[in-house]
């Protein structure tokens, strides 16, 4: 099995120190509901974990919660809740979202606020070893003390120079980053050797991974937006603290999600939450959409793409669950499908290719069913392969899966009525669909529809 390592920039043979894969995935900052960008990332790493387990590895999977952060502090100040209450509220909603997507729970979910002793231990040793220094506003990591800084993101520190952050900044160098932030009025704070304050963002992942997985990880994973500065800083802190290299053997980063032609971001106001998606589409549909693209590639989200994925998921479910009562078994070489699937996944977790193998098997099963043959063995294999991909194969009720063909039929009839200028009948179809929550939108090129639940 070969996987692409961001640190080396190439595919490498996957080798572990034992049968247990130590895997750390950067988690969320719980200040709002999770969006489909989170779904994309955690679905992908869930499937990577599932595939490793299917290959016989035990996986110890750790994922953190950054439950103290500027975003949480700012959000809580306008709600009347404490930062703890706000974070706990969205952590609970996070678990609900991930469960609804059939994402396996991590072995450990450490929280930054519950790991302060370990965080202080790491910072203290970094200060003692000359890798960190105290200033009036906090403790900073001295980037120039780590010669390998920039290796992950391929950035040079040569030209960094003194800080250009403006008045009030006390850093020695521009790239130096906060390990400990001294207390400000109204913010949560903890006691430390440098006065009361709170941890910086990057230090928590070093402390947590060291505590729960040891000095060297097998896989460290996250989105491509975390390569710099977060993961770069993690490497520097961790290797300076332990004196052990590498901090992680393999760095995996998933591609970013695009919403249509735009990058999805809170600042643009175009976030789509997981809950909004699951109002009209199944968890399997979202998985099929995410897995249709290689994990390192960007993914474009559109309603049309998700509708197509819903249809694809429906085809898989029908093939896997159809009654097979033929007397003669279908002549399908299942070992070939299993090998093609594993070969695809062994090649840098190419689940997109693996999914195409699944659809090839679906077509073979459907041919067998149409010919009145028994396809039970093929259905068992299909369920095994889709289980690795995390598909539930559950038929959705009250969503577009079952109603979609009838809606499409009514829309085509409405189109024909409009062409004949039978406006009243066409409007009756529109009104009738609206009554059950289906909204029609006529555009110059096509007629679109979406299923909206009524409050």
**Which residue in this structure is represented by tokens 């010919």?**
371
Tens digits of residue pLDDT in 35-46:
999 999 999 999
- Rounded to whole angstroms, how far apart are CA atoms 69 and 80? 17
More confident site: 435 or 105: 105
Write down the pLDDT at residue 443. Answer: 66
**What share of the chain has pLDDT > 70, as a percent?**
92
Sequence-distant (≥ 6) Cβ neighbours of residue 276 within 8 angstroms = none
Asked if 226 and 66 touch (Cβ cutoff 8 Å), the reply is no
pLDDT at 271 over 90: no
User: Which SS3 state, helix, strand or coil, does residue 378 take?
Assistant: helix
Residue 123, both tokens: 């910072």
Tens digits of residue pLDDT in 196-213:
999 999 999 999 999 999
pLDDT at 383 over 90: yes
DSSP per-residue letters across 199-244: E-HHHHHHHHHHHHH-S-EEEEEEEGGGIIIIIHHHHHHHHHHH--
Determine which helix (DSSP H) or strand (DSSP E) holds 179, and give its type and residue range: strand 177-182
Question: Taking the CB of residue 330, how many other CB atoms lie within 10 A of it?
Answer: 20
Compute the mean pLDDT over every residue in the chain, rounded to the nearest whole number: 92
Beta bridge partners, 11, equal 4
DSSP per-residue letters across 349-378: --HHHHHHHHHHHHHHHHHHHHTT-B-HHH
Write down the pLDDT at residue 438. Answer: 85
pTM score, whole prediction: 0.85
Write down the pLDDT at residue 398. Answer: 45
Rounded to a whole number of angstroms, the CA Rg of the chain reads: 26
Task: Report, as an integer, the average pLDDT of 385-395.
Answer: 95
Task: Report, as an integer, the average pLDDT of 141-166.
Answer: 78
Asked if 47 and 291 touch (Cβ cutoff 8 Å), the reply is yes
* Start-end of H helices in 373-419: 376-388, 400-419
pLDDT at 446 over 90: no
Write down the pLDDT at residue 111. Answer: 98
pLDDT at 164 over 60: no
Tens digits of residue pLDDT in 299-349:
999 999 999 999 999 999 999 999 988 889 999 999 999 999 999 999 999
pLDDT at 454 over 50: no
Tens digits of residue pLDDT in 343-379:
999 999 999 999 999 999 999 999 999 999 999 999 9
The secondary structure of the chain in percent helix, strand, coil, rounded to multiples of 5, reads 45, 20, 35
Task: Report, as an integer, the average pLDDT of 441-451.
Answer: 71
Residue 39, both tokens: 């779904």
Tens digits of residue pLDDT in 255-270:
999 887 776 666 666 7
User: Which SS3 state, helix, strand or coil, does residue 152 take?
Assistant: coil
Q: Please report the domains of the chain, with CATH numbers, ordered by start residue.
A: 2-258 (3.40.50.620), 280-388 (1.20.120.640), 400-451 (no CATH)
Write down the pLDDT at residue 167. Answer: 44
Write down the pLDDT at residue 166. Answer: 45
* Start-end of H helices in 101-225: 116-128, 201-213
């Amino acid at each position: 099995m070969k996987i692409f390592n961001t640190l080396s920039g190439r595919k490498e043979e996957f080798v572990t120190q034992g049968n247990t894969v130590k895997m750390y995935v950067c988690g969320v900052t719980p200040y709002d509901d999770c969006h489909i960008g989170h779904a994309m990332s955690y679905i992908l790493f869930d499937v990577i974990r599932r595939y490793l387990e299917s290959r016989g590895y035990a996986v110890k999977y750790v994922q953190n919660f950054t439950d103290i952060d500027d975003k949480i502090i700012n959000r809580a100040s306008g709600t009347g809740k404490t930062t703890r209450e706000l974070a706990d509220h969205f952590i609970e909603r996070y678990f609900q979202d991930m469960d609804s997507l059939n994402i396996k729970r991590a072995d450990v979910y450490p929280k930054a606020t519950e790991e302060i002793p370990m965080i202080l231990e790491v910072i203290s040793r970094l200060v003692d070893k000359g890798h960190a220094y105290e200033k009036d506003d906090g403790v900073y990591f001295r980037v120039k003390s780590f010669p390998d800084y920039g290796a992950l993101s391929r950035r040079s520190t040569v030209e960094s120079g003194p800080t250009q952050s403006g008045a009030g900044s006390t850093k020695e160098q521009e790239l130096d980053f906060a390990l400990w932030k001294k207390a400000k009025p109204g913010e949560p704070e903890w006691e430390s050797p440098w006065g009361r304050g709170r941890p910086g963002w990057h230090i928590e992942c070093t402390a947590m991974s060291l505590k729960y997985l040891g000095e060297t990880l097998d896989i460290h994973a996250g989105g491509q937006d975390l390569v710099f500065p977060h993961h770069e800083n993690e490497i520097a802190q961790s290797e300076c603290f332990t004196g052990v290299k590498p901090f992680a053997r393999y760095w995996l980063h998933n591609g970013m999600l695009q919403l249509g032609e735009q990058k999805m971001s809170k600042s643009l106001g175009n976030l789509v939450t997981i809950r909004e998606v699951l109002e009209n589409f199944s968890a399997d549909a979202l998985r099929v959409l995410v897995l249709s693209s290689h994990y390192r590639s960007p993914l474009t989200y559109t309603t049309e793409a998700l509708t197509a994925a819903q249809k694809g998921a429906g085809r898989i479910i029908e093939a896997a669950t159809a009654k097979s009562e033929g007397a003669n078994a279908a002549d399908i070489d299942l070992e070939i499908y299993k090998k093609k699937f594993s070969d695809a996944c062994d090649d840098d977790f190419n689940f997109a290719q693996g999914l195409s193998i699944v659809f090839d098997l679906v077509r073979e099963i459907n041919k067998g069913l149409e010919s009145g043959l028994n396809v039970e063995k093929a259905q068992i294999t299909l369920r095994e392969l889709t289980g690795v991909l995390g598909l539930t194969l559950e038929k959705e009720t009250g969503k577009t899966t079952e109603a979609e063909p009838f809606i499409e039929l009514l829309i085509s009839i409405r189109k024909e009525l409009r062409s004949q200028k039978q406006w009243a009948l066409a409007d009756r179809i529109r009104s009738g669909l609206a009554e059950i929550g289906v909204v029609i939108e006529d555009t110059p090129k096509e007629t679109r529809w979406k299923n909206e639940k009524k409050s």
